[in-house]
Amino acid sequence: MSWRQVKMPVYWMAVMLLIGVVQVATAVQFEVKDGKTNITCILADLSINFSVSYNVSSKMELATFVLPSEAVTNINKSSCGVENTTAPVLAIQFGSNHSLSIHFARNNTRYEVAELVMSYNLSDKIIFPNASENGTKTVSTNKTAVLAENDTVYKCMNPHLIRMDNANATFHDIRLEAYLKQSNFSQKVSTCSEDITPTSAPAPVTTTAPVPAPVPDPPVVQYSVNRSSEPCLLAKVGLQMNITYTTKDGKNGSYVFNIESKGVTVDGNCTNTTAYLSLSTGSIDLRFNFTLNSSLEVFYLDGVSLSTGLPADANDTHFEAANSSLNYMQTNVHKSFKCNSKQTLQITDPFTVNTYHLQVQAFNSDNTFASAVECSLDENGMLVPIVVGAALAGLVLIVLIAYLIGRKRSHAGYQTI
C-alpha cells in the first residue's frame, strides 16, 4: 500500500500528460465474487475518463484524469447482493482515496446500472492543484443509460458520457456484466446505442452536403397482446423511427432506425378502455397506447412514447419523447384500421413514426383482423387506377359515338346519291 501511495503521483502525472495527446487508458479488470459461494456475480473491463470541476480561489477549474490501471475492487464495499433485499455493487478504489461505486438493478428482462456514485478527494493536489477545499466530495446519478438484456454482456466501445454534479465519467471500451451465472462474460452482447451505426449515417468525409444512405423499409411484424389469454390488441406493421436532434456543433442531425423483428421484447396489456403495446431492446423503449371511446364506439391511438440513445455526434445522446393527446387511426370497434402506404405520424416536434403495411385492431377478442377501414393515403393510391380507368372508358365511349355518327353520316350520304 505504501508503495502505491508513493508511486501513484508519478504514474498520474504521466497519465495526465498523456490524456492531452492520446486517449490511452487500457481497460482495467474488476471482479466481484459472492463471499459464501465464491461464485462470480459481476465482471467488468472498464476504461473511464473523468472530468471534475472544482474551486480554485473562487474560480472553477477542470481536472481530467483516467481510471488508473492500479485501481482495485474494494471487496468490503462490493457485494453480490441478496435477492429482493440488496442490489449488487461493484466498488472501486483508486489513487489517494478516490472511489467509484456501480450499483445494479434488474427486472424480468434486463439489468442496468441504477446508480453511479463517485467520491473524489480534493486533498489530492496532484489531480486537484490549488483546490480551495480539502476533503472528499461525493456525486452521483441515477441516469446512466447503461442497460443490458438479461444474461448478456453490456458492451460499449464508443464514449458513453455519464453526468453527475460537477463531474463527468466517460466510459469507453467497456465490457460489463452483473448477475452472472457463469464465471466469464456471456456470449450474447447488448450493444450500447453509441456503437450502433445509425442507418442514416452519412459518410463523414466530404465537405459538401452529405447524402444520407437510404434506410431500408422496416420488416413487417405481427404483434398480439392478450388480456387473460384473450387477444385484445392485434397489430401488423413495419415501424421506423425518425428523430431530429442537435449535434455537438449545433447542427441538425437525423436519426432514422427500424424496429427489427428479432431482439425485441414485446409487452402489453389491456383494460376495458385502454390497451398498450410496448417494444423494447437494451437501449430502446417504445410504447403505443390505444383508447376506447365507448360512447362513440371507436378506438384510436392516443399516446406514443420513445426512449432511445442517439448517435455519438448528438449533444445529448439520450432521447425521450412522449405525447398522450394524439388521435390517430380512429376506427369503429369490431373493425380494423389498415394503411398499406407509408404513413407518417408526428408524435413530437423532433420525432415522427413511419408505419408501413399497417393493420391494427384493438378491443376486439378476435384472433384475426376484422374487416378493414382503409386510410386515406391508400384511397388516394386507389385514385390513380380509377382515374385511368375512367379516362379509358371515356375514350372508348368517344370512339364509339364518333363511329356511330360517322356511320349515320355515310349512310345518309349514300341515300342522297
Ligand X SMILES: *[C@@H]1O[C@H](CO)[C@@H](O)[C@H](O)[C@H]1NC(C)=O
Site map for ligand X, 36-65, x if CB under 6 A? --x------------xxx--------x---
Residue 138 contacts ligand X per CB under 6 A: no
Residue 172 contacts ligand X per CB under 6 A: no
Q: Which residues contact 271 (CB under 8 A, 6 or more apart)?
A: 227
Among 113, 178, 304, 353, binds ligand X (CB under 6 A): 304
Identify whether the C-beta of residue 323 lies closer than 8 Å to the C-beta of residue 358. Answer: no
Q: Which residue is nearest to ligand X (CB)?
A: 303
Going by C-alpha positions, the residue among 255, 261, 52 that lies closest to residue 168 is 52
Stretch that binds ligand X, among 137-145, 189-197, 368-376, 393-401 (CB under 6 A): 137-145
Kindly state the smallest distance separating residue 316's Cβ from ligand X, in Å: 6
Identify whether the C-beta of residue 124 lies closer than 8 Å to the C-beta of residue 134. Answer: no
Among 101, 158, 289, 331, binds ligand X (CB under 6 A): 289
Count interface residues toward ligand X (CB under 6 A).
Answer: 52
Parallel, antiparallel or unpaired: strands 153-156 and 189-191: parallel
Stretch that binds ligand X, among 5-13, 136-144, 371-379, 386-394 (CB under 6 A): 136-144
Among 142, 197, 327, 410, binds ligand X (CB under 6 A): 142
Kindly state the smallest distance separating residue 26's Cβ from ligand X, in Å: 22
Residue 242 contacts ligand X per CB under 6 A: yes
Kindly state the smallest distance separating residue 230's Cβ from ligand X, in Å: 11
Stretch that binds ligand X, among 11-19, 190-198, 314-322, 395-403 (CB under 6 A): 314-322
Kindly state the smallest distance separating residue 374's Cβ from ligand X, in Å: 22
Kindly state the smallest distance separating residue 385's Cβ from ligand X, in Å: 26
Which CB, 333 or 372, lies closer to ligand X? 333
* Strand spans (E) along 324-368: 328-332, 336-339, 343-348, 351-362
Q: Which residues contact 108 (CB under 8 A, 6 or more apart)?
A: 150
**Burial classification of residue 95, based on how many CB atoms lie within 10 Å of its CB (0-12 exposed, 13-18 middle, 19 or more buried):** buried
Parallel, antiparallel or unpaired: strands 252-258 and 230-246: antiparallel
Residue 167 contacts ligand X per CB under 6 A: yes
* Strand spans (E) along 198-335: 220-227, 230-246, 252-258, 265-270, 274-280, 285-293, 298-309, 318-323, 328-332
DSSP state, residue 95: T
Distance CA 337, CA 357 (A): 11
Distance CA 143, CA 164 (A): 9
Report DSSP letters for 187-236, one per residue. SSEEE-GGGS--TTPPPTT-SSPP-PPPPPPPPEEEEEEEETTEEEEEEE
Stretch that binds ligand X, among 18-26, 130-138, 364-372, 399-407 (CB under 6 A): 130-138
Identify whether the C-beta of residue 41 lies closer than 8 Å to the C-beta of residue 178. Answer: yes
Residue 5 contacts ligand X per CB under 6 A: no
Residue 132 contacts ligand X per CB under 6 A: yes
Stretch that binds ligand X, among 8-16, 110-118, 201-209, 406-414 (CB under 6 A): 110-118
Give residues in contact with ligand X (CB under 6 A).
38, 51-53, 62, 83-84, 106-110, 112, 115, 123, 132-134, 140-142, 150-151, 163, 166-168, 215, 227, 242, 244, 246, 250, 254, 256, 269, 271-272, 274, 276, 285, 287, 289, 303-305, 315-316, 322, 324, 352, 354
